Each structure stands twice: as C-alpha cells, then as structure tokens.
C-alpha cells in the first residue's frame, strides 16, 4: 500500500519494517507489544522475506529496522533478550539492503511510587532502588550488543523523559463519608487522566499545602463522572483535606493529556509550563462551545 501511494505521488518512500521478536516484556498486559499474542510487527521468522519483497517494489527505499516490546519496563532483561534475538537478523538485513538504522523502541519505565522521593538522589541509594532500571544500566547492557552492528541506534524514551515532569492539579469539591468508606471528590476525572481506570495505574497524590499536623485517612479519590470506574486512587492513605484545597496527582506527564477526552461533556483542562519560578499557559482551557462546534444536524432532521 505504501508503494502504491508513493507511486501515485511520484515519490520514493523511506521505510523501516517493524519486527516482532516474541519477547515477554513483563509489564502490564495492555502495554506489552512484542510477543506473538500482540498485534504489532512482523514475526522474526518472516521479516527477511518481507524485506526481500519490499526491495523489489520500485517506490520503497529500505532505510532501517524497528521494534518495540512494551512500555513501563523496570528491568533491562527483556531489552537484552530482544536485542540478542534480533541482532543477527539486523546484521544480515543491514548488509544485504544497506540499512542505516535500527530503532529498538522505547519502554524505559519511571518510578510512580514514590514519584516525589525518587526525584532526590538519596532515594536511588536505598535498597528498593537498586534493581530499578536506570539510563546508565540500560546503556551498559545494550551498547556492547549494539555497537558491533555499526548501525545508527534510535530509542524512544518518551515516558522516561516527561512522565514525572507532569502534574495534574485538581480541586477538592466534597468529602463524602458513608460510614463504610470516605470519598474525596475532586474536579478532575478519568477523562483528564484515564490511567488509573484503564490500567489500574498508581499515581502518587499529595496536597499542595503541606502540613505535618494532618492525620492520615484511607480514602478513594474520585471524580464527578457517572461511573464507578472514575477514580484517581482507591483505598489510599491521604492527609485529611477539606473542600477548596488542591491536590497534586503526580507522574501525569506521559499518557495524561494526550489520552484525555470530552467524555461526559467535560472540557479539556488547561496546561501550564513551569520552569523554575516562571509559568506560562501553553494550552488554554477548552471553550464549552467546542464540544458541539463540529456537530451538524442533517437537513432531514430539521
């Protein structure tokens, strides 16, 4: 199909083929992408035949190879396994088709719990941090395997760069005590940050106003959307807060605003860029009129 489209445009399209190495990433089932049970890529045993076919198509230029085994990995072992499996094939393809690069994908995980503490160098000297995947450990294991290939190596460390740089700020609207459970109802919801509902993901939550005298209470932090899947935290120890206070939902920089929606006719939140003591509005709050701006009523319904 790419060859056909490129031909119509009188172009030669640079392409890379995604290979599936059939390696278990040991991450959440919804974000593992490199096994034969996933929909992605060409099976390792079939990829050389695909390159041979692509090389015969006149409007394709084979430039590289790509793979991606999953997201939010906390160990380097799956990366090492995948690179070792694919490297011999990559070497043969590079020689035969003069490939220039190999994109080995992304997937480096970040520390969601505890996000705040992990931002301090002292945390990384603690026992629980010693097994966590760092950029240095990632490079130390993979560079010796990749360097002999002589290819340009591309990586996709999106979450690793921005995940812990983003915070969702939300206002406490109500405190609801049922006698069996306490709900902290906030103005943010699953449409703003769907990861807890979609992946059962943990996001650290802290009050913006820090006070040592606050007692802890075990609560559910929930939004105003009309389903029970609308939560940011469940059964979470949290300093007692009052309506009108603000909470910071940490680690919202990756798969946060990009997965936001207008579900329940809710507007997209504003985004503010902070650098030191400077702050700038980089995306304005969505106007209410935008929710129906692109809707049309057919003439036969008027």
Q: Active-site residue numbers?
A: 226
Start-to-end CA distance of the chain, whole Å, equals: 41
As a 3-state breakdown, the chain gives helix, strand, coil percent values, each rounded to 5, of: 30, 25, 45
Determine how β-strand 205-207 pairs with β-strand 231-239. unpaired
3-state secondary structure of 56: coil
φ, ψ at 215 (rounded to 5°): -75, 155
| Spatial distance between the Cα atoms of 255 and 106, rounded to a whole number of angstroms | 14
Quickly list DSSP for 211-250: -TTPPEEEEEEE-SSSSTT-EEEEEEEEE---TT-EEEE-
Strand partners, 272: 281
3-state secondary structure of 285: coil
Q: Residue 239's closest CA among 206, 277, 278?
A: 206
Quickly list DSSP for 75-144: -SHHHHHHHHHHHHHHHHHHHHH---EEEEEE-B----TTTTGGGSGGGGGSGGGTTS--HHHHHHHHHH
Tell whether the torsion through CA atoms of 174, 178, 183 and 185 is positive or negative.
negative
């Amino acid at each position: 199909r790419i060859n056909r489209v490129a031909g119509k445009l009188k172009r030669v399209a640079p392409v890379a083929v995604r290979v599936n190495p059939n390696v278990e990433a040991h991450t959440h089932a919804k974000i593992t992408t490199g096994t034969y049970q996933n929909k992605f890529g060409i099976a390792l045993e079939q990829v050389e035949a695909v390159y041979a076919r692509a090389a015969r198509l006149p409007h394709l230029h084979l430039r590289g190879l790509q793979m991606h085994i999953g997201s939010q990995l906390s160990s380097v072992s799956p990366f090492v396994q995948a690179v070792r499996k694919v490297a011999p094939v990559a070497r043969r393809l590079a020689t035969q088709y003069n490939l220039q690069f190999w994109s080995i994908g992304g997937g480096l995980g970040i520390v969601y719990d505890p996000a705040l503490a992990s931002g301090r160098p002292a945390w990384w000297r603690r026992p629980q941090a010693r097994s966590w995947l760092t950029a240095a450990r990632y490079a130390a294991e993979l560079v010796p395997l990749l360097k002999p290939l002589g290819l340009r190596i591309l990586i996709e460390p999106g979450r690793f760069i921005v995940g812990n740089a983003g915070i969702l700020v939300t206002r406490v609207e109500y405190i609801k005590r049922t006698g069996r459970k306490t709900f902290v109802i906030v103005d943010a919801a699953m449409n703003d940050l769907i990861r807890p509902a979609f992946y059962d993901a943990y996001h650290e939550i802290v009050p913006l106003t820090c006070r040592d005298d606050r007692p802890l209470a075990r609560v559910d932090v929930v939004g105003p959307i009309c389903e029970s899947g609308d939560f940011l935290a469940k059964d979470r120890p949290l300093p007692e807060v009052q309506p009108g206070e603000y909470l910071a939902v940490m680690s919202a920089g990756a798969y946060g605003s990009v997965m936001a929606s207008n579900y329940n006719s809710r507007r997209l939140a504003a985004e503010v860029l902070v650098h030191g003591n400077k702050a700038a509005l980089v995306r304005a709050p969505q106007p209410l009129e935008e929710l129906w701006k692109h809707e049309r009523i057919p003439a036969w319904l008027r």
